Every structure is written in structure tokens, then in C-alpha cells.
């Protein structure tokens, strides 16, 4: 009897394996190796592109048989495919499921984020009354009416601040402080890695936009934020992985103490950093409420607080999570682009001189640095973004079955687009591994190319794109105008990292002109 029972179990397990294998074997979307480490990933993709053998969409083999185990995770490497896919609302969701929400709720409680909210905001605050919403915010959740509200509030804030010329003022002030720090810390013989200065500058811009404050570089609160963000960034991949896996496992596994213990170390670090950032955000909520004028919102936080008064789906964790993601998205990305730019230009003094001549001539004729008068400089900046991409797409999740380019993407699938592959494609960009400063400069004009898609594309693209483009131009032109960049250490090698493509070691001397 027992033998029969065991035979039955064995047959069932075998049938299940056979079923998975057949599904894998005859899946119309091929599997293909994909290294999670950014340095190796860039190298491998470049080789495959050169040989013309990289599939435009595939199931990644992160490790042997990973595409069998994680069967509905896809990597897109083709620009047109990504454009078609991400113009669909069904493919513009962040990873979200009831199970991942339950896990988020557990973490909020376990790491006492709910207590911090209550302690700082008090029981009568509307955000506390609206309660915990779990994975609802600017960069979380479905592409639905609420997400559109978050995006519209962003555009309204930009319009308001732009109307008062405030954004440019914030960026200019931060740029001046960046140049001051580069001179103080990086004009000596040894030079410096300018990344931390750029993180400081980019964080300042976003603090101005979201909270209406521009900090002095050595402000202790500002330093605390910077330190916590570094921790958040270093842990981002395991955290996203946990979110994704917990959303798929049965609750009795994902909520078990053994499963939680596996992630504990990373979670402890991450949530300790989150708790400090949330406290800063809630203290700002209290300050903002004290002087809030609903007819005249001053910044993004004001906008969200006004909306939350009539929108019960915006709770304390929606505001905390949104602030956190804005900081994370706005600081390291652009800081890395600027670091790559300084590293690249320090190997090309002739390009620096051409940019400098264009900038100075514009200043003499126009009294200020205008984008339309600096076509060569813009070409170099775009070429740096193409050659040295820093981020890929934050994974998107399918909320329905969708056909893209004849391929069925099933409900629940996860899509990740490799911007690194798209911007190294020799069909779009001949000689892709070469730095060609004139690539986007023809007959004295700057020619934009949407295939340089660092900010992604479609309904869920980078909402900070306009701010980032302005910041990138203003920070870069002010640096080139004031300094000669000389390499003192390192090269253009990529660091071992799993979420960001950043320079391994680079030191540049910022010599005052
Ligand atoms: C050069 C700098 C930047 C790069 C390369 C970059 C890139 C990206 C990418 C690739 C995404 C994912 C889009 C997708 O999933 O389809 C994204 C999302 C996002 N970015 Fe940026 N970004 C930059 C700067 C900024 C800045 C300065 C801000 C804020 C001022 C910002 C705010 C955001 C936010 C809030 C999201 C999430 C949007 C959503 O889920 O709807 N980013 N960014």
C-alpha cells in the first residue's frame, strides 16, 4: 500500500517537472544568459549585440535553470518592442499583489514605521485617519486613476514652480554649491571622486522641489539623509527581489519565521534607514500643515497633503514611500551620470576645450548659458548618457494578457528593459563602444535621438526627466565653464554592482580656469 502511495507521489512530481520542462522547451520566448552584475552584464550584452545574436525579448538565465524556475520574467532589449509594450496601460504597473501588500504591512509593523507615523503626526492627522495603504505611492502600485493623480500633482508642482522661476533658481543655487565643493575638495594634486558632491547637489534640488527647502552642504539633517540613502541604494536589489518573490509565494511560506529570517539582515539595515527618512518626512508634514494654504501649494508635499484630505487612498505610508522613492530616484542616477561625464572628459581635453569655447561664446552673446546656443555641448552630454547608462527599467508587471509584436505576455508577467542593451545596439548607434562627441551634432545643430532612452519611455517613464535634463545641463556647463578636468586616478571601468552602472574608481582634479 505504502509503495503504491509513494509511486503515486513520484509520478505526480515527475509529471509536474515534465509539464514545466515542456512549457519551458516550447516557449516562443527564448531563454538567454543575463548577468545580474552590471559590469559583466554590460560586457556580455556588448558581445552578443556585436555578433547580432541578442534576442529582442528573452527569459533570463541568471543562474542555471532560472528561466524554468522563474518562468514569466522577461528582459526586453529592443527599443521598438519596449516602446510598444510600455505604451500599454496593462504593462505600466509596478510589481504589486495582495501577497506583497501583506508582506509590506508586516514590515511596517515589525519595524515600527506605523508607530513613528503616529508619534510624529498625531492621531488627528488626516494621513493617520486614512491609514496604512501598503504599496501605494508615486512609484508603487498599478497604473490606475490614483497613480495618474500622483503624476498630475507632480506636473502641477513643476508648473507652479516653473511659473515662479523657482526650479531654475533651486538648480542654479545647487550648482553653485556643487562648484564650490568641487573647488574646495577636488582642486588639489590628488583630485577627487566627485560622486558624493553630485549626490549632495542632486539631493538638494529634490529637497527644494518636494519640501521647499534648500540645505547648506554641511547641514546635519542633510548629511543624515545622504547616509541613509546610500544604505537604501546598496540594498535595493535584495529588497526588490524579496518584494517580487514574496508576491508569488503562498502566504504560509512568505510569512513564516524561517523565510523572514533569510532576509532579516538586509531588511534590518534597510528599514532602519527607512525609519529615519520617514521621520524626517513626517516632521516636514507637521511643519507644512502649520502654514498650508490650500489655494497656493508651495511644493510637492503641499500638493499631496491637499489631495490626501479628500482622497482616503493616500495614507501615511504613501507619503513616506513617495518621498523615499523620489530621493532614491533623483539623486544617485544623475550623480552617476555626472561622475561618468567628468571621468570621460578628463580623458578628452580637446572636447572640454570645444565645449568651453561654445559655453563662453554663448555667455558673451546672451549673458547666460542657453541650451539652444550650445548644440555641441548637448551632443556630448547625450553621448555620455548613451555610452554610460546608469539605470535600467524598474520592473513592470502585466495586469492583463497582452499581445506585443505577436508575442503573448501573460497576466502577472514581469518585464524588465535593458536600457544598456538598447543604447549599445550597433544598428541604432554605429561603433557603439566608441565615444563620438559629434554623434548628435550635425551642421551646427543638436539632433536629439529618442533611442537614447535613459529615462525609459511610455506611461510609466521617469517623471523627473524634465528636472533631470535641466539639472544635467546646468551642473555640467557650470563645471566646464569654471574648471579644467584632469584625471588623477582610475579609468572608465565599471564597478561591481547589481543595481547601478557606475564607475569603479575615478579621480579627477578640478583645476580652476
Ligand atoms: C539622469 C537621471 C535619471 C535617470 C537616468 C532616471 C531613470 C529612471 C528610470 C529608468 C525610471 C524607470 C521608468 C520605468 O520603469 O519605465 C525612473 C523612474 C522614476 N524617476 Fe527617474 N531618472 C533620473 C532622474 C530622476 C529625477 C531627477 C527624479 C526626480 C526629480 C526622478 C524621479 C523618478 C520617479 C519618481 C520615478 C518613478 C516613476 C513611476 O513609477 O511612475 N528621476 N527614472
Q: What is the number of domains present in the chain?
A: 1
Domain membership flag for residue 426: yes
Q: Is 342 flagged in the annotation as binding?
A: no
Range of the domain at 94: 72-512
Domain membership flag for residue 67: no
> 3-class DSSP state for residue 508?
strand
In what helix (H) or strand (E) does residue 169 lie, and over which residues does it extend? Answer: helix 166-186
- How many Cβ atoms sit within 10 Å of the Cβ of residue 170? 22
Domain membership flag for residue 419: yes
Domain membership flag for residue 344: yes
| Cα 113 to ligand 1 centroid, rounded to whole Å | 25
What string of DSSP letters covers 413-440?
A: -EEEE-HHHHHT-TTTSSSTTS--TTTT
Q: Residue length, the chain?
A: 513
Please report, for residues 179, 252, 354, 355, 369, the alpha-carbon distance to residue 358 in angstroms, rounded to integers and kept in the order given.
19, 63, 6, 5, 9
Task: Report the candidate in 373, 348, 342, 349 with the shortest Cα–Cα distance to residue 360.
Answer: 373
Ligand 1 atom, smallest distance to 143 CA: 41
Is the minimum distance from the CB of 325 to ligand 1 under 6 angstroms?
Answer: yes
How do the pLDDT tens digits run along the chain, 513 residues long?
Answer: 788 888 888 888 888 777 777 776 778 899 999 998 999 999 999 999 999 999 999 999 988 878 877 778 999 999 999 999 999 999 999 988 888 899 899 999 999 999 999 999 999 999 999 999 999 999 999 999 999 999 999 999 999 988 777 899 999 999 999 999 999 999 999 999 999 999 999 999 999 999 998 888 789 999 999 899 888 887 777 787 787 788 778 888 888 889 888 889 888 999 999 999 999 999 999 999 999 999 999 999 999 999 999 999 999 999 999 999 999 899 999 999 999 999 999 999 999 999 999 999 999 999 999 999 999 999 999 999 999 999 999 899 999 999 999 999 999 999 999 999 999 999 999 999 999 999 999 999 999 999 999 999 999 999 999 999 999 999 999 999 999 999 999 999 999 988 889 999 999 999 999
Domain membership flag for residue 164: yes
| Cα 333 to ligand 1 centroid, rounded to whole Å | 8
Alpha helices in 187-219 (DSSP H): 195-211
Domain membership flag for residue 51: no
- How many Cβ atoms sit within 10 Å of the Cβ of residue 247? 22
Contacts of 243 by beta carbon, 8 Å cutoff, 6+ apart: 95, 100, 103, 104
* DSSP-derived secondary structure letter, 362: H
> In CATH, what number is assigned to the domain containing residue 499?
1.10.630.10
Domain membership flag for residue 176: yes
Question: ipTM, 2 decimals?
Answer: 0.99
Please report, for residues 95, 230, 248, 263, 273, the alpha-carbon distance to residue 240 in angstroms, rounded to integers and kept in the order given.
9, 16, 13, 12, 16
For the full predicted model, state whether its pTM sits above 0.90: yes
- Joined together, the cell numbers standing for residue 204 give 538638494
Domain membership flag for residue 8: no
Amino acid at each position: 500500500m505504502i509503495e503504491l502511495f509513494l509511486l503515486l507521489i513520484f509520478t505526480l512530481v515527475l509529471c509536474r517537472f515534465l509539464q514545466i520542462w515542456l512549457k519551458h522547451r516550447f516557449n516562443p520566448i527564448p531563454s538567454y544568459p543575463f548577468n545580474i552584475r552590471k559590469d559583466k552584464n554590460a560586457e556580455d550584452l556588448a558581445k552578443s549585440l556585436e555578433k547580432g545574436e541578442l534576442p529582442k525579448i528573452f527569459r533570463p538565465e541568471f543562474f542555471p535553470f532560472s528561466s524554468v524556475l522563474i518562468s514569466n520574467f522577461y528582459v526586453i532589449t529592443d527599443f521598438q518592442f519596449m516602446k510598444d509594450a510600455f505604451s500599454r496601460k496593462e504593462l505600466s504597473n509596478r510589481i504589486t499583489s495582495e501577497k506583497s501588500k501583506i508582506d509590506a504591512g508586516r514590515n511596517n509593523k515589525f519595524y515600527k514605521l506605523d508607530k513613528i507615523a503616529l508619534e510624529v503626526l498625531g492621531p488627528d492627522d488626516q494621513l493617520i485617519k486614512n491609514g496604512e495603504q501598503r504599496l501605494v505611492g508615486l512609484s508603487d502600485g498599478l497604473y490606475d486613476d490614483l497613480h495618474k493623480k500622483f503624476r498630475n500633482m507632480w506636473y502641477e508642482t513643476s508648473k507652479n514652480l516653473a511659473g515662479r522661476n523657482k526650479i531654475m533658481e533651486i538648480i542654479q543655487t545647487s550648482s553653485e554649491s556643487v562648484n564650490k565643493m568641487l573647488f574646495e575638495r577636488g582642486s588639489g594634486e590628488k583630485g577627487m571622486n566627485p560622486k558624493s558632491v553630485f549626490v549632495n547637489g542632486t539631493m538638494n534640488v529634490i529637497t527644494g522641489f518636494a519640501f521647499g527647502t534648500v540645505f547648506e552642504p554641511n547641514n546635519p539633517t542633510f548629511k543624515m539623509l545622504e547616509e541613509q540613502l546610500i544604505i537604501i541604494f546598496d540594498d535595493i536589489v535584495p529588497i526588490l527581489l524579496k518584494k517580487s518573490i514574496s508576491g508569488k509565494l503562498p502566504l504560509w511560506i512568505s510569512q513564516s519565521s524561517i523565510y523572514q529570517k533569510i532576509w532579516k539582515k538586509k531588511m534590518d539595515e534597510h528599514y532602519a534607514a527607512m525609519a529615519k527618512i520617514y521621520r524626517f518626512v513626517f516632521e516636514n508634514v507637521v511643519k507644512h500643515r502649520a502654514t498650508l494654504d490650500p489655494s497656493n501649494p508651495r511644493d510637492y508635499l503641499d500638493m499631496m497633503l491637499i489631495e490626501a484630505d479628500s482622497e482616503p487612498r493616500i495614507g501615511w505610508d504613501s507619503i513616506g514611500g513617495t518621498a523615499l522613492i523620489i530621493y532614491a530616484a533623483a539623486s544617485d542616477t544623475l550623480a552617476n551620470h555626472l561622475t561618468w561625464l567628468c571621468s570621460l572628459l578628463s580623458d578628452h581635453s580637446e572636447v572640454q576645450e570645444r565645449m568651453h569655447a561654445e559655453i563662453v561664446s554663448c555667455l558673451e552673446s546672451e549673458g547666460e548659458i542657453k541650451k539652444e546656443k550650445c548644440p555641441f555641448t548637448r551632443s556630448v552630454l547625450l553621448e555620455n548618457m548613451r555610452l554610460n547608462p546608469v539605470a535600467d527599467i524598474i520592473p513592470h508587471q502585466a495586469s492583463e494578457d497582452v499581445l506585443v509584436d505577436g508575442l503573448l505576455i501573460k497576466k502577472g508577467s514581469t518585464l524588465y528593459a535593458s536600457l544598456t542593451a538598447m543604447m549599445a545596439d550597433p544598428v541604432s548607434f554605429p561603433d557603439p563602444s566608441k565615444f563620438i562627441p559629434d554623434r548628435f551634432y550635425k551642421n551646427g545643430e543638436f539632433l536629439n535621438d529618442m533611442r537614447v532612452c535613459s529615462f525609459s519611455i511610455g506611461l510609466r517613464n521617469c517623471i523627473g526627466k524634465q528636472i533631470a535634463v535641466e539639472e544635467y545641463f546646468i551642473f555640467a556647463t557650470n563645471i566646464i565653464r569654471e574648471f579644467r578636468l584632469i584625471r588623477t586616478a582610475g579609468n572608465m571601468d565599471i564597478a561591481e554592482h547589481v543595481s547601478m552602472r557606475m564607475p569603479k574608481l575615478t579621480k579627477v582634479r578640478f583645476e580652476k580656469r
